Structure formats: structure tokens, C-alpha cells
């Protein structure tokens, strides 16, 4: 009995200790949230100094990801808001508003009094009411060190006609979150999913809310049927029949202490109103056919002509307990809700001048390219050749066989001389592989801005801009090119390194593996094989990584390919430094 009493006392002691720890963590979490709220309030005080609308012509915005890019409902303009940038030590959040004129190819920074606080990973939806309105909900703010997060649950509207911000305070709305998705459905905003993360824990959502644009009220929908599991970063789009499609997304769950397992979802669901029952909705699992995107997260979505949904890029993460590597994509997929079918988007390539003269205005009347094979013969592969000069002056020729460009849905046309793609100068290459880019469609033109990719432990944030005619599906047009000079990466501070050394000084087993780590972290060059290279002065690793990323995208090589699995360790010679940022590899057709 004495032993039993001791065990019970010991058990109560453990529970008491756990309760104290939980209380301590909760108190720290509240303190961190209060610190972030104070920082947000400070930024809002600075924004309050703006008393009038100021429009300033400007160069393209700085690199960023997780911003929103929206097409103006009436004007030839794209609206860029918010976003984030990480330079290795500091996280920067934005609430700047930029307007891109698609006809004039000009940028304007628009400063409007009382804007929403700085944020990223929010949702923005444009509706035509009142001369155009841009609705924004949620998103997140991060501390400068990127360790603390504050998730917004506020709703804002930008009145585009008179350029004024208004915060709409409507009760009963969603909880604070980011990574959610929101679409305009009739005279409602429909919101799904997202996640919330704190110092203590994280939670993913699969709830659905509707905001009435007439009454300015929120209502929580409770659809019948089995819907998607909790997730963020999914695809959400309206079907021509009035339903809402949800595809993919990302979530994670804790498998043991300090170890999380991420899931990249690839399932698809249809949310639709029930016939004759106002306010009643139902979920249904659907199984599309066709060429589906490979599993990924961080992809970007827009609505193409003919109400097709397009998906671009993303990343497939390979997770281990102590390591996370990602393969980035730059492919394009279309989803046709009418036929419940996926199509891979392929480009025809630019038309030759000779062919344009012969066909005249007939080419201008071409309809939207439907990316579906109709029995056309497969295009012959192209040999893409590029040259890289190593540090010792050796010229290395890299050859890669890639599929010839051409729409999946139409046979590859040739002109009367049969010189087709060759006369056009070979395959044109567009955006490099990336995730978390921003997409918008205006007048049948797809615009893509920014995003990010990873080079080892470095995150490279992009600020380039591309355009693709979705009717012609010929080639990407570069509006703002990649500029390595805009990149900044700061290594760990000396104090951080000292603390790490102190932690590993006594009894650690890091020395046992030091040889392997040095070999993995070395710098390498390619001269027929992989050999260790000396440091190249005058050319930062970030610029090399960005150039190589751009180079490999142009020769059709994905990071998952075995030849370039360790691409981030390749060193460029002095001759290549002159080619940055304007240098280009040579592309030829076999």
C-alpha cells in the first residue's frame, strides 16, 4: 500500500509538473503574441501618417512571395499587395500596393491612407461592384527573426474607383489564419481551410464560411457529405455549373515530440449548393481523368479562358527527420471542370516570320488552345545544348534531350516549307521552377510574378515577371527578367555560430561525422566528373545559385535529375561572371 501511495504521489507530481509547463508555455505564447501585436501597432502608426493618395511611377517591385496579384475588373491593370521576403537573417513583410499597367508596361506605387497591416499568405478577391472592389481576408505577420507568427482574422475592402481602404468589421467570421483560399461566388465570398501556427502548436482547418456582399455578414456553412481533410494552400475555383472545386493542398501532423510529418494532398472535391435548399451545401469526392499534376504543394492557381483552372509550378518536398529537400516545378496544367479532366499545358513555340506572313490575320483568330491530344504524332525530341566555362577555363558542353514544344491538344502545325519550330528559333523558355508565385489572368493573358526556390540552405526569392497568351499558347514573354543583383543572403551571425560551437563542444558526436559534412558542403565544379573546386572570388554563392537555376530551367533539366542532383555545389568560372545577369545558354534544335 505504501508503494501504491508513492506511485500515486509520483503520478500526481508528474501531472503537476506538466500543468506548470503548459501554463509556462501558454504564458510565453501570449507574451509573444502581445509583442507581435505591439510591432504591428507600431507599423500602423507609421501608416497613419499617410493622409492622401499618392501615386508614384516606380521600377518593378522588389522580390517577394506569398503576395496577391489581382486583375482589375474594368481597367488594364494588375494589383499587387503584400508579400514577404527572407534574406537569411531577417523576414520582411509588406503592405505596399503596386499597380501594373498591362498595356503600357509600367509600374505605379499607390500609397493610400489607413491600409491593412503588413501581411503575407492572405487571400484577395476582386468583384465588379461599385467600380471594382478588392477584398482581402486574413494572412500572417512574422517577427523579424521568423520565429513568431501572428495570424489575422480581419476583412478589408479596397474601393478601386476612389482608392480608399475600408476595414469591414463583421462578427461570426473565420478565426485567424493564413494559407486559406477564397473565391467570389455569385454575391458571396466563399472561404475554405487554412492554418494557424503559434509557439505552442499548429492547427489546420477544413471549415467553410460565406460572406454576403450585400448585407456584409458572415455565416458558417455546414455542408453534408464527406469533404476534404484539414489543409492549406489548396486550389479553389468556381465551375461553370456553379460549384466550387477544391484540389490538393498541404498539411502536417506531429508524429512524435519535435517531429512533424507533412502531407501533400492530391485529392479533389466538389462543393455545390443543394437543389431547392437555400443555404444548404454538399461535399462530393470527384476523380478527374487525364494528365494530372504530380504531388506537390506551393503551386499557384488562376482561372483561364473558358472557365478552365490552370495550375503552375510548386514544390515536392522529400522529408526526413533532420532534412527537407524539395524538387521545384515550372510546368503548367489545366483542369476542365465540364469534363472533369486534367490536361498538361504545352507550348507550340514561336511562329516564324515566314509563316506569319503566309497566314496573315487568320492566326489572330485562333481560339483558346485546348491541351488535349487528338491523335497527333508525337513531336520529335529536341537536343538542348549549353556551355559552361569552369574556373580553370575549360568549356563544358551540357546536352539535354527535351520534348519538343507543342500544345497537348493540337497537332503540331508546319508551314509549307516544313521548317516550323526551327524557323522560329527553337524552343522558348519561360519561368524557372519555383513555388509560391503570383498569377493573374487579364484579357486571356496569364501573368506570373515572383515566387521562390531553394539552393541548399538558401532561399532565393524572385522578382521576375512573365506573360503567356493562353489563346495562342506559343511562348512566354519576359517582362521583367531575373536580376541576381537584387538578391541578398546573410549568413548566421558570429554570436549564432559561437552558441552553436558552445553547444557542441562537450560530448557531442558531431566530430565523428565532420568528414562527411565537409564533403557534402564543399563547392564543386563539373569537368567531365565532379571535382572539388576552389572558392571563386567576386561572385557570391547566391548569384551563382540564381544563375544555375535559370540555366538549368533553360536546358529543360529538373533538379530531380540525377546528373544535377548536386547542382547547387557547381562553381562557375570567371568567364561566367560577365554573363550575369544577362548571360544565356545556347538553345538549338537537333
With helix as H, strand as E and coil as C, how does 371-431 read? CCCCCCCCCCCEEEEEEEECCCCCEEEEEEEECCCCCCCCCCCCCCCCCHHHHCCCCCCCC
Residue that the C-alpha cell 520529335 belongs to: 380
pLDDT at 218 over 90: yes
In the block, which residue shows the cell 481533410?
A: 229
Binned at pLDDT 50, 70 and 90, residue 581 comes out as very low
Helix/strand number for the chain, H first, E second: 7, 34
* Confidence at residue 487, expressed as pLDDT on a 0 to 100 scale: 75
Beta bridge partners of 285: 269
Give the pLDDT band (50/70/90) at residue 312. Answer: very high
* pLDDT at site 492: 65
In a domain, 79, yes or no: yes
355 SS3 class: helix
Taken as a whole, the chain contains a residue count of 590
Of the candidates 467, 247, 226, the one whose C-alpha atom is nearest the C-alpha of residue 341 is 247
Confidence of residue 255 (pLDDT cuts 50, 70, 90): confident
User: Per-residue pLDDT averaged across 479-490, rounded?
Assistant: 82
CB–CB of 205/197 below 8 Å? Answer: no
Stronger pLDDT, 177 or 501, i.e. the higher one = 177
Q: Looking at residue 276, what is its pLDDT? A: 64
CB burial string 50-69: b at 16+ within 10 A, e below: eeeeeeeeeebbebbbbbbb
Q: pLDDT at position 422, please? A: 40
**Residue 189: C-alpha distances to residues 173, 178, 183, 253 (Å):** 12, 16, 6, 29
Strand order in the sheet with 97-101: 54-58, 106-111, 97-101, 77-81, 68-71
Could you tell me if residue 561 is inside a domain? no
Burial class (CB in 10 A: 0-12, 13-18, 19+), 425: middle
CA dist., res. 247 & res. 580, Å (int)? 39
Q: Alpha-carbon distance 65 to 314, whole Å? A: 12
Query: Cell 565532379 belongs to which residue?
Result: 530
| Listed residues 115, 138, 169: the one ending a domain | 169
What is the pLDDT averaged over residues 568-581? 38
Residue 243 to residue 511: CA distance in whole angstroms:
59
Predicted pLDDT of residue 202: 92
Q: Which residue has the cell 496577391?
A: 68
pLDDT at 518: 38
- pLDDT score of 572 more than 90: no
Whole-angstrom Cα distance, residue 397 to residue 338?
46
Residue 369 clears pLDDT 90, i.e. is over it: no
307 and 165 share a domain?
Answer: no
**Domain end among 154, 169, 184:** 169
Residue 172's CB is within 10 A of a number of other CB atoms, namely 10
Lookup result for grid cell 493562353: 470
DSSP letter for each residue of 182-247: EEEETTEEEEEEEEEE-SS-EEEEEEEEEEETTTTEEEEE--BS--PPS-BS-EEEE-TTS-EEEE
Range(s) of the domain holding residue 157: 22-169
Task: Work out the angle at residue 470's Cα, subtended by the Cα atoms of residues 464 and 471, and round it to the nearest 5 degrees.
Answer: 145
User: Which residues sit opposite 465 in a β-bridge?
Assistant: 449, 480
d(CA 451, CA 461): 6
Residue 73 lies in a domain: yes
Lowest mean pLDDT among 57-66, 311-320, 409-418, 550-559: 409-418
Q: Which three cell numbers stand for residue 474?
A: 506559343
For residue 375, being part of any structural domain is answered with no
Quick one: cell of 295? Answer: 504531388
pLDDT band of residue 321 (cuts 50, 70, 90) is low
SS (H, E, C) 131-170: HCEEEEECCEEECCCCCCEEECCCEEEEECCCCEEEECCC
pLDDT at 180: 98
Tell me how far apart the alpha carbons of residues 414 and 421 are, in angstroms, rounded to a whole number.
Answer: 8
In what helix (H) or strand (E) does residue 545 lie, and over which residues does it extend? helix 541-554
CA separation for the pair 425, 347 (Å, rounded): 14
Give pLDDT tens digits for 488-508: 788 766 555 554 444 444 444
pLDDT score of 573: 42
Is 359 inside a domain boundary? Answer: no
Whole-model pTM above 0.85? no
Distance CA 126, CA 71 (A): 7
Q: pLDDT of 504-561, one tens digit each?
A: 444 444 444 434 433 334 444 443 444 343 443 444 555 555 555 555 555 544 433 3
Question: What gap in Å lies between CA 325 and CA 141, rounded to an integer?
Answer: 25
Number of domains forming the structure of the chain: 2
- For 480, phi then psi, to 5°, come to -135, 120
**Quick one: pLDDT band at residue 315, thresholds 50, 70, 90?**
very high
Q: Is the peptide bond before 581 cis (omega within 30 degrees of 0)?
A: yes
Whether 88 is covered by a domain: the verdict is: yes
- Mean pLDDT, residues 412-431: 49
Indicate if the pLDDT at residue 456 is higher than 50: yes
Does the residue 573 lie in any domain?
Answer: no
- What is the domain-level CATH number for residue 37? 2.120.10.80
Residue 372's pLDDT band, with cuts at 50, 70 and 90, is very low
Q: What percent of the chain has pLDDT over 70?
A: 63
Q: Under a CB-based contact definition with an 8 Å cutoff, are residues 415 and 423 in contact?
A: yes
User: What distance separates the 2 farthest-apart alpha carbons in the chain?
Assistant: 101
Mean pLDDT value across residues 122-133? 96
Q: How much of the chain exceeds pLDDT 90, in percent?
A: 51
**Where is pLDDT greater, at 391 or 345?**
345
Please state whether beta strands 202-212 and 84-86 pair in parallel, antiparallel, or not at all (unpaired). unpaired
Q: Is the pLDDT of residue 62 over 70?
A: yes
Burial of 296 (0-12, 13-18, 19+ CB in 10 A): buried
34 located within any domain: yes
Average pLDDT, the chain: 76
Pick the more confident residue, 304 or 168: 168
Across residues 287-308, what is the average pLDDT? 94
DSSP sequence for 241-285: TS-EEEEEEEEEEEEETTEEEEEEEEEEEEEEEPTT-TT-EEEEE
From 126, 145, 169, the end of a domain falls on 169
- Containing 449, the helix (H) or strand (E) segment is strand 445-455
**Do 337 and 478 sit in the same domain of this protein?**
yes
Which residue in 272, 248, 292, 270 sits closest to 337, CA to CA? 270
Amino acid at each position: 500500500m505504501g508503494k501504491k501511495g508513492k506511485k500515486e504521489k509520483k503520478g500526481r507530481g508528474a501531472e503537476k509538473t506538466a500543468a506548470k509547463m503548459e501554463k509556462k508555455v501558454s504564458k510565453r505564447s501570449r507574451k509573444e503574441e502581445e509583442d507581435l501585436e505591439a510591432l504591428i501597432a507600431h507599423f500602423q502608426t507609421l501608416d497613419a501618417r499617410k493622409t492622401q493618395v499618392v501615386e508614384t511611377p516606380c521600377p518593378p517591385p522588389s522580390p517577394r512571395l506569398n503576395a496577391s496579384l489581382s486583375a482589375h475588373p474594368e481597367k488594364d491593370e494588375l494589383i499587387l499587395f503584400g508579400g514577404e521576403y527572407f534574406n537569411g537573417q531577417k523576414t520582411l513583410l509588406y503592405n505596399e500596393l503596386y499597380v501594373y499597367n498591362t498595356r503600357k508596361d509600367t509600374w505605379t506605387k499607390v500609397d493610400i491612407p489607413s491600409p491593412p497591416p503588413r501581411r503575407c499568405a492572405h487571400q484577395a478577391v476582386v468583384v465588379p461592384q461599385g467600380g471594382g472592389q478588392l477584398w482581402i481576408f486574413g494572412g500572417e505577420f512574422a517577427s523579424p527573426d521568423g520565429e513568431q507568427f501572428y495570424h489575422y482574422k480581419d476583412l478589408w475592402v479596397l474601393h478601386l474607383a476612389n482608392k480608399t481602404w475600408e476595414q469591414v468589421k463583421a462578427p461570426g467570421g473565420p478565426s485567424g489564419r493564413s494559407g486559406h483560399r477564397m473565391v467570389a461566388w455569385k454575391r458571396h465570398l466563399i472561404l475554405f481551410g487554412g492554418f494557424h501556427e503559434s509557439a505552442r502548436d499548429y492547427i489546420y482547418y477544413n471549415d467553410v464560411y460565406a460572406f454576403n456582399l450585400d448585407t456584409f455578414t458572415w455565416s458558417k456553412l455546414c455542408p453534408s457529405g464527406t469533404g476534404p481533410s484539414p489543409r492549406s494552400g489548396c486550389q479553389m475555383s468556381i465551375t461553370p455549373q456553379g460549384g466550387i472545386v477544391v484540389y490538393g493542398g498541404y498539411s502536417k501532423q506531429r508524429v512524435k515530440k519535435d517531429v512533424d510529418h507533412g502531407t501533400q494532398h492530391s485529392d479533389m472535391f466538389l462543393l455545390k449548393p443543394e437543389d431547392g435548399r437555400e443555404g444548404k451545401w454538399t461535399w462530393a469526392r470527384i476523380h478527374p481523368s487525364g494528365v494530372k499534376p504530380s504531388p506537390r504543394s506551393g503551386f499557384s492557381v488562376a482561372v483561364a479562358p473558358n472557365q478552365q483552372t490552370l495550375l503552375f509550378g510548386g514544390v515536392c518536398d522529400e522529408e526526413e527527420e533532420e532534412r527537407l529537400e524539395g524538387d521545384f516545378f515550372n510546368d503548367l496544367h489545366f483542369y476542365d471542370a465540364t469534363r472533369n479532366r486534367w490536361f498538361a499545358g504545352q507550348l507550340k513555340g514561336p511562329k516564324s516570320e515566314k509563316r506569319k506572313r503566309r497566314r496573315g490575320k487568320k492566326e489572330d483568330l485562333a481560339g483558346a488552345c485546348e491541351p488535349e491530344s487528338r491523335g497527333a504524332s508525337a513531336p520529335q525530341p529536341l537536343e538542348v545544348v549549353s556551355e559552361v566555362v569552369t574556373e580553370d577555363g575549360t568549356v563544358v558542353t551540357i546536352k539535354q534531350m527535351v520534348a519538343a514544344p507543342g500544345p497537348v491538344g493540337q497537332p503540331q502545325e508546319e508551314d509549307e516549307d516544313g521548317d516550323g519550330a526551327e524557323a522560329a528559333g527553337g524552343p522558348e523558355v519561360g519561368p524557372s521552377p519555383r513555388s509560391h508565385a503570383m498569377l493573374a489572368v487579364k484579357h486571356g493573358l496569364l501573368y506570373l510574378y515572383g515566387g521562390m526556390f531553394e539552393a541548399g540552405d538558401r532561399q532565393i526569392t524572385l522578382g521576375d515577371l512573365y506573360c503567356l497568351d493562353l489563346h495562342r499558347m506559343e511562348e512566354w514573354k519576359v517582362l521583367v527578367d531575373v536580376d541576381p543583383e537584387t538578391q541578398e543572403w546573410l549568413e548566421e551571425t558570429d554570436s549564432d555560430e559561437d552558441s552553436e560551437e558552445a553547444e557542441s563542444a562537450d560530448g557531442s558526436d558531431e566530430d565523428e561525422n565532420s568528414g562527411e559534412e565537409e564533403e557534402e558542403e564543399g563547392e564543386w565544379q563539373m569537368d567531365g566528373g565532379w571535382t572539388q573546386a576552389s572558392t571563386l572570388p567576386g561572385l557570391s554563392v547566391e548569384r551563382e545559385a540564381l544563375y544555375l537555376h535559370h540555366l538549368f530551367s533553360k536546358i529543360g533539366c529538373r533538379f530531380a535529375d540525377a546528373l544535377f542532383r548536386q547542382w547547387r555545389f557547381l562553381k562557375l568560372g570567371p568567364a561566367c561572371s560577365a554573363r550575369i545577369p544577362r548571360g544565356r545558354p545556347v538553345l538549338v534544335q537537333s
